């Protein structure tokens, strides 16, 4: 199953979720691939030394003769591999413009490798451009992190509309895996109001687990670690582990439904 983490707003916790959810699922015995599709490469920074990166996400899209082994980097975490990204990924749209299969590039590329992993997570840039659309076309499910702040739901209509468009043609089986409340501030009434609002709008699709604001989560990337080794007893570690269980349960259900439909 391929889960894309998307929200075209920046700073809502996509990368933090991609890093820690990937690590949590690997810790629970799943073979996980994290595909970093943000040209900023923040997910990559936590797991690989950028100096050793040769082939990265850009070449995955553009140099189709390169074998998969070139793109896969192992991490310190057992069972977790990553396809890193570099700033050259920002040139992808100009590179692929006019290409008739541009939105199918990633889907086609992943065909060869997807069976090697139980789960593939995709971190996306804060836009709804060609990179995010490629991820949505390739994915089986979408996870939407939403920051519990005043303008939380601003922009989600555009995202949901894009998901609908992808569903209507290139990827009819794309499911909404869930909506995750992030950067929750226990001390403010506003955070609670926003959480209640998100739950009202998305109902059961909202994950029970919410991710609270925590300095430890903010610090861990600078130490090139996921939260579980950096601060195993922190709220972030507990919450992302809880989230991973909910995610695995929902992914499993999605898998069963797909199997049933295919049979
Ligand atoms: N739960 C959290 N508590 C504290 N800081 C967080 C939390 N989640 C994310 N951050 C910080 O907020 C910033 C934006 O988060 P990030 O995951 O990079 O968002 P995005 O990928 O959506 O742009 C980063 O500096 C990150 O470390
Ligand atoms: Mg990011």
127-152 pLDDT tens trace: 999 999 999 999 999 999 999 988 88
pLDDT for the residue 255: 86
Tokens of 4: 């894309």
Minimum-distance ligand 1 atom for the alpha carbon of 212: 1
pLDDT for the residue 50: 85
Strand order in the sheet with 80-83: 73-74, 80-83, 32-36, 119-123, 2-5, 141-147, 175-182
The model's pLDDT over 50-62, given as tens digits with 9 standing for 90+, comes to 888 999 999 999 9
pLDDT for the residue 152: 86
Ligand 1 center from residue 182 Cα (angstroms): 9
Q: Is 185 left (phi over 0), alpha (psi -120 to 50) or beta?
A: beta
Residue 38, CA atoms < 13 Å, CB-side half-sphere? 27
Q: Which of 17, 42, 218 to mutate to test the pocket of ligand 1 (most atoms within 8 A of CB)?
A: 218
Q: What average pLDDT does the chain have? A: 96
Alpha carbon separation from 237 to 23, 160, 194 (Å, rounded)? 10, 29, 23
Q: How many domains does the chain have?
A: 1
CB burial readout 140-162, b (16+ within 10 A) else e: bbbbbbbbbbeebeebbeebeeb
pLDDT for the residue 221: 96
Pocket around ligand 1: residues whose beta carbon is below 6 Å from it?
10-16, 42, 126, 182-183, 211, 213-214, 217-218
Of 118, 115, 146, which Cα lies nearest the Cα of 10? 146
pLDDT beyond 90 at 260: no
**Rounded mean pLDDT, 22-49:** 96
Ligand 1 center from residue 4 Cα (angstroms): 17
Residue minimizing CA distance to atom 10 of ligand 1: 218
**Rounded mean pLDDT, 160-168:** 96
Termini Cα distance of the chain: 17
Full-model pTM: 0.97
Residues 6+ apart with CB under 8 A from 167: 174
Cβ atoms of 136 and 163 closer than 8 Å: yes
**Rounded mean pLDDT, 104-119:** 97
Ligand nearest to C-alpha 215: 1
pLDDT for the residue 184: 97
Q: Which of 4, 7, 8, 13 to mutate to test the pocket of ligand 1 (most atoms within 8 A of CB)?
A: 13
Residue minimizing CA distance to atom 1 of ligand 1: 213
Counting residues of the chain whose pLDDT is more than 70, the rounded percentage is 100
The CATH number for 240's domain is 3.40.50.300
Q: Which domain holds residue 184?
A: 2-262
Q: Which of 4, 9, 10, 16 to mutate to test the pocket of ligand 1 (most atoms within 8 A of CB)?
A: 16
Minimum-distance ligand 1 atom for the alpha carbon of 18: 17
């Amino acid at each position: 199953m391929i889960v894309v983490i998307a929200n075209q707003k920046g700073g809502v916790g996509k990368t933090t979720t991609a890093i820690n959810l990937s690590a949590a699922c690997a810790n629970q015995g799943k073979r996980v691939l994290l595909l970093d599709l943000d040209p900023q490469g923040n997910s990559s920074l936590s797991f690989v030394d950028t100096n050793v990166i040769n082939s990265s996400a850009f070449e995955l899209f553009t140099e189709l003769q390169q074998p998969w082994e070139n793109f896969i980097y192992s991490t310190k975490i057992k069972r977790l591999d990553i396809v890193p990204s570099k700033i050259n990924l920002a040139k992808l749209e100009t590179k692929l413009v006019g290409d008739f299969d541009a939105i199918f590039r990633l889907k086609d590329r992943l065909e060869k490798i997807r069976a090697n992993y139980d789960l593939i997570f995709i971190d996306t840039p804060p836009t709804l451009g060609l990179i995010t659309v490629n991820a949505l076309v390739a994915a089986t499910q979408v996870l939407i992190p939403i920051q519990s702040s005043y303008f939380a739901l601003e922009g989600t209509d555009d995202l949901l509309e894009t998901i609908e468009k992808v569903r209507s043609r290139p990827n009819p089986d794309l499911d909404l895996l869930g909506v995750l409340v992030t950067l929750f501030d226990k001390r403010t009434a506003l955070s609670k109001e926003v959480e209640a609002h998100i739950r009202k709008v998305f109902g059961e699709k909202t994950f029970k687990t919410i991710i609270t604001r925590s300095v430890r989560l903010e610090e861990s990337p600078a130490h090139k670690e996921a939260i579980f080794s950096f601060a195993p007893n922190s709220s972030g570690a507990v919450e992302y582990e809880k989230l991973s269980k909910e995610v695995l349960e929902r992914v499993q259900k999605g898998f069963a439904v797909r199997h049933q439909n295919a049979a």
